[in-house]
Amino acid sequence: MDIRNIQTFIQVAEIKSFTKAANEMNYVQSTVTMQIQQLERELGFPLFDRIGKSVSLTAYGEEFLAYAYELVHIMHKASNLSNNHPDMRGTLRVGVVESLMFSEMVDILPRYKEAYKNIDIKIKVGQTTELLQLLKQNLLDTVYISTGLNTDQDLCCYYKCKRKLVFVSSPEYAMAKKEKISIDELFENNFIVTEHTGVCYSKLKSLAAQNNAILKDFIEIDSVTAVVELLRRGMGLAFLPDYSVEKHLQRGELVKLNVEVEPQIYYSQVLCHRSRWVSPFMESFVEEIKKLHPQEE
């Protein structure tokens, strides 16, 4: 079984077009057709349904795709046994939520790029729901997000780290002067909240509902950086990931409020599509994250 035929199969499966796959691989279309036909003869079953100009995987093709990724992965590892990993070439497409981008990725990327100078890196900063959709559309190789534990069977988790959400304000804000804050007192204040689809807002909303309270006079912004800036100007309270405000707490720009509530836990996770080939340089990216924040259950 020719590995080039398998690589062509993966390309067609991902792009869903013989013509576009040929263009991507600098082949003429007849070469792509011939390679797929040869692979289908060797396997003994059709890989694609071809109806007009539409191309889609058959049930056998869907199942074989996972094996194809594994085969290419193994061949790639074997071919690199005598090569230095820093010489690898490729493109890594990463989706990341803004809070992790500015608190962690800015530290990870310089080290990673220094080790893998020939890897092109494309970063997409967005909201969790948007990034997961792009991952499933094969427009991203991996995502680094903060949310509840992954339960999507189409996705695999390669890293997870337990995190906490904390209530914060400026040191001058009235609530910052109190040693302890009850949940009733908490929701009497104005909040600056993140987007409704995010883990911060959903957990805050849940806390309010559990205590028969409502969020009042809030400002919604889909940028943690902007929320922090408004907090520094004394505009209210916020409920944010601990890692996103750590530096501001250390510098005394913000303070953590002692609210009488159970710890609110969630997870930072690196997710990939189950059918996606995890390249060596993608694995190394995950390792860089683990070095910065060791994996925690």
Write out 4-29 in H/E/C secondary structure: HHHHHHHHHHHHCCHHHHHHHCCCCH
Kindly state whether residues 258 and 287 are assigned to the same domain: no
pLDDT of residue 82: 46
Mean pLDDT of 138-160: 91
Q: How far apart are CA 191 and CA 251, in angstroms?
A: 22
Of the candidate ranges 40-49, 76-85, 175-184, 269-278, the one whose mean pLDDT is the lowest: 76-85
Mean pLDDT of 188-206: 87
Is 103 within the bounds of a domain? yes
Q: Please tell me whether residue 127 adopts helix, strand or coil conformation.
A: coil
pTM of the model: 0.68
Comparing CA positions, the residue from 168, 195, 163, 164 lying closest to residue 98 is: 195
Residue 203's identity, in one-letter code, is: K
Question: Residue 24 phi/psi, 5° resolution?
Answer: -65, -35
Instruction: Give the number of domains in the chain.
Output: 3
Q: What's the distance, CA 8 to chain centroid? A: 27
Domain ends where: 79, 111, 141? Answer: 79
Q: What's the distance, CA 242 to chain centroid? A: 18
Is 186 within the bounds of a domain? yes
Considering the chain, what percentage of its residues have pLDDT values greater than 90?
44
Longest dimension (CA), the chain: 75
Kindly state whether residues 175 and 197 are assigned to the same domain: yes
pLDDT of residue 87: 65
CA dihedral 97, 134, 282, 119 (to 10 degrees): -90
Burial of 202 (0-12, 13-18, 19+ CB in 10 A): middle
Task: Residue 44: give the domain boundaries.
Answer: 3-79
The CATH number that applies at residue 281 is: 3.40.190.10
Any idea which residue has 């943690």 for tokens?
224
Task: Tell me the angle at which helices 106-115 and 280-292 cross, rounded to the nearest 10 degrees.
Answer: 140
Domain ends where: 36, 52, 79? Answer: 79
Chain segment 99-119, per-residue pLDDT in tens: 999 989 999 999 998 888 888
Kindly state whether residues 257 and 247 are assigned to the same domain: yes
Is 297 within the bounds of a domain? no
Residue 270 β-bridge partners? 144, 159
Kindly state whether residues 70 and 199 are assigned to the same domain: no
Q: How far apart are CA 112 and CA 144, in angstroms?
A: 15
Query: 92: left (phi > 0), else alpha (psi -120 to 50), else beta?
Result: beta
Of the candidate ranges 10-19, 75-84, 257-266, the one whose mean pLDDT is the lowest: 75-84
Both tokens assigned to 137: 């559309």
Question: Does residue 296 register a pLDDT over 70?
Answer: no
Strands 255-256 and 155-169: antiparallel
